[in-house]
A and B are shown apart, each in its own frame.
Chain A
Amino acid sequence: MHDHDFEKQVHQKMEELQLSPSYTVWERVEEKLHKKKRRRIVFWVPFLLAGLLIGGYYWMQDGINTKQAETFSTNPVSSPAHSAEKAPVTTETNVGTPNPKPSLVATSLQPAARIPARIKEQKQVASAATLPHAAPLSPELGETNKAGKNKGDRAQENQPAIVAVKTPVEEKKSEEKKSAATSGTAEEETGKVVTGAVILKDPSAATVSTILPLREPAQGISASVPAGELAARTIRLTTKSRFHWGINLELMKTSVNKGSLGKLFSQSLAAADQFSTPGTIPGNVGSTVPGPSAIQAATGFSAGFFLNRELTSRLTLSTGLNYALFANSVMIGSSRSSSSQFFNSTGIERYYLAGTSITGSKYTNKYHFIELPVLLQVQLNRGKLPVIWEGGLSLSRLLASNALHYNSSVGGYYKDNSLITHTQVGVLTGLQIKAFANARFPVLVGPQIQIGLSNLSAGTTSERNHLAQYGLQISTVIK
């Protein structure tokens, strides 16, 4: 026998070995794989949400900035608001033909991507073409310009320069205030100088600031200021966004209203369905069955997020998405298997007898909705605690419900979601007090009331029932 024959035999024998694993092995493998997959998803969800939020924020900001830049650049310097009134040195600027292709370069302070280049080019050329006067804020630069090009010009072409533009009237004013400017107050009056650029504050739009860096020459502008120093302007807008979003939570008492507001949340409200009168058991003449139990209001809540768009300083349009739980309760008796013709025809197997407060037990009808409110908010006052009135419509869609419906012919409650109108329109109104209005996360608290316009009961019934709720809403503006 050869060497290693034993090993060969063992190897061969072991290759033949096959065993049957128990079924639980695969179940465990499957479970672990499923868990891993879920963990991967859970791991990515926060990143995805964060990405969406950040992306959405920048997209929104970019849109707003573009719009603001357009507005600002259309008439950027004709208003005294945009002039550097207390510039230490003024220089004359003659306007020639507009620069067909001015080149724009962002400074270190101003990422060029924040404002679309096309808009910057067009609007800044337009503004340059209408500039009657321009004044460099840097005394050194102004002197250099007066003297014409010198050896520093080339070097300065690619440096951001501090330039403000002026109208003739402003120029006169600036002469008067020259001393103040040279004494160091110019910075405060005209804007904040930051690393070779100036931010011009616009009093007419208090939140708008601009940075005017210079880099390359603009054709068509001949002035004592070298064209190269004046042409390119990048506008930085630190505009307060008109869009805000936040989260809201409302704790509420919810019930079913049978029409008039006066009966809203009444303790003695009868069962809110089409079978509201006591009846008799079929075939049992004279045997009455209990009537429907009174519907009691129950606690519900809604939670979600909102998006606000400021229309004016006092008027805001608000929308959002909420999950809402509406609830009410009824008293039910013991459970019965359905033998009556009515239940057999509907395929319902069990029902509950109507109960009383003594004999019955409490059953909570729950309605889960996804809700889309559209509201108009009006700020009633200014000050530290602004009061906001809001009113609007709410469109909601039923996600699920366990609500019971009463049938007088058998005196019982049963579940049938086809008897509920799945899409509901409601009207809502409320007041909110804005606390910490100037804080990073202002909080709004106040009461809100909502009445359903749609009939809750679907089908052929003539009965009109509406969902109704009142509660306390608390919300906070995230951004």
Chain B
Amino acid sequence: MTDQQKLIKDCLRGKPPAQRQLYDQYAGFMLGVCYRYTKSMEDAEDVLQEGFVKVFTYLAQYKADGELGAWIRRIMVNTAINYLKKHKRYQTELLFSDPALHPVSADNPEVDLSAKELAELIRQLPPGFQTIFNLHAVEGYSHVDIGKLLGIHEGTSRSQYARARALLISWIKKNDIDSKIESYARP
């Protein structure tokens, strides 16, 4: 029995030290996930807390053939989506527009930002854009899946993504230019 299997077994038995160990192992990374979907650290921690309660409640349903981290991550993403749906401040109307009007640009700039900086830029996207961008670009969900998850049309997801991507790229470029100007301005 591997250490992780033993850890899971102990968590299933409700042993607090094992639960704490599992939490410590994944909390940092999962908070990063929650952080990308929310607008404040408080909300991110709320999602993290709800997510871990679900993890421990439904741990018996975890099948050992998959990676535990990926399973927990899925729970966190779903918890985050539910959280956004529940709270009015995250509810924005996602209007359907023809994806053809907003084609995904072929622009693929170099991202010279740190993980935290990039995450901050993603969080500045409007809530709908932010969610769809995270789901597609980071989690790798297809637009069909995103449509099902958010209850929107697949085309809406595509067009919103294209607009989110374009917006983010423009910010990244601007950020790049600003940082270059700043570096030139230094004595």
CB of B42, distance to nearest CB on chain A (Å):
9
Task: Closest A residue to B112 by CB, please name it.
Answer: A9
Is B118 within 8 A of A18, CB to CB?
no
What separation, in Å, do the CA atoms of A24 and B46 have in the docked complex? 10
Per a CB cutoff under 8 Å, which of A11, A13, A20, A24 touches B140? A11
Taking CB atoms, residues of chain A closer than 8 Å to B77 are none
Produce 1/0 per residue, B97-141, CB < 8 A to A.
000000000111111011110110010000000000000111010
What separation, in Å, do the CA atoms of A25 and B113 have in the docked complex? 29
Secondary structure at chain B's binding surface: helix, strand, loop or mixed? helix
CB of A423, distance to nearest CB on chain B (Å):
36
Does B27 sit within 8 A of A, measured CB to CB? yes
Is B165 within 8 A of A17, CB to CB?
no
A-B contact count (CB 8 A): 90
**What is the size, in residues, of chain B's interface with A at 8 Å between Cβ atoms?**
39
CB of B18, distance to nearest CB on chain A (Å):
12
Stretch in contact with the other chain, from B48-56, B80-88, B148-156: B48-56
Is A25 within 8 A of B165, CB to CB?
no
Is B29 within 8 A of A14, CB to CB?
no
What separation, in Å, do the CA atoms of A234 and B107 have in the docked complex? 91
Is A14 within 8 A of B32, CB to CB?
yes
Taking CB atoms, residues of chain B closer than 8 Å to A13 are 111, 113-115, 118
Does A26 sit within 8 A of B, measured CB to CB? yes
What separation, in Å, do the CA atoms of A2 and B32 have in the docked complex? 27
What separation, in Å, do the CA atoms of A13 and B113 have in the docked complex? 8
**What is the size, in residues, of chain A's interface with B at 8 Å between Cβ atoms?**
29
Task: Closest B residue to A4 by CB, please name it.
Answer: B108
Produce 1/0 per residue, B1-25, CB < 8 A to A.
0000000000000101001100100
Is A25 within 8 A of B49, CB to CB?
yes
Taking CB atoms, residues of chain A closer than 8 Å to B36 are 14, 17
Is B111 within 8 A of A9, CB to CB?
yes
Is A33 within 8 A of B48, CB to CB?
no
CB of B119, distance to nearest CB on chain A (Å):
5
Per a CB cutoff under 8 Å, which of A2, A22, A32 touches B108? A2
Does B170 sit within 8 A of A, measured CB to CB? no
CB of A26, distance to nearest CB on chain B (Å):
6
Does A28 sit within 8 A of B, measured CB to CB? yes
Interface positions of A (Cβ within 8 A of B): 1-7, 9-11, 13-14, 16-22, 24-26, 28-30, 32-33, 36-37
Other than the given A1-B110, A33-B53, 5 more pairs (CB < 8 A) read A2-B108, A6-B107, A16-B115, A25-B52, A29-B52
Ordered by A's residue number, 14 sampled pairs between the chains whose C-beta atoms are within 8 Å are: A3-B106, A6-B108, A9-B111, A10-B111, A11-B140, A17-B32, A18-B31, A20-B28, A20-B31, A22-B45, A32-B53, A33-B57, A36-B53, A37-B14
Question: Which 7 pairs across A and B sit closest by C-beta, in order of nearness?
Answer: A17-B32, A17-B115, A18-B28, A5-B108, A9-B111, A16-B115, A19-B31
